[in-house]
Amino acid sequence: MKKLALLLVVGLCSMSLMTAQDIKKDTYERDGDRIEATIYHDNGEIAQLGVYNLEGVLDGDWISFDRFGQIVSVGQYANGVKVGTWRFYANNTMKEVIYSDSKIVRVDTYEITDTRVVSN
Decide the pairing of beta strands 116-119 and 81-90. Answer: unpaired
pLDDT, one tens digit per residue, over 58-109 is 999 999 999 999 999 999 999 999 999 999 999 999 999 999 888 999 999 9
- Please give the model's pTM, rounded to 2 decimal places: 0.73
Q: Does domain 26-119 have CATH number 2.60.40.10?
A: no
Give the residue extent of every domain in the chain.
26-119
| Cα separation, 100 vs 118, whole angstroms | 25
Q: Residue 114 — very low, low, confident or very high, per pLDDT cuts 50/70/90?
A: confident
Looking at every residue in the chain, the average pLDDT score rounds to: 84
What stretches of 1-120 adopt beta strand conformation (E)? 27-31, 34-40, 46-53, 58-65, 71-78, 81-90, 93-100, 103-113, 116-119
Higher pLDDT, 48 or 2: 48
- What stretch of H or E contains 18? helix 2-22
Phi, psi of 64 (to 5 degrees): -115, 145
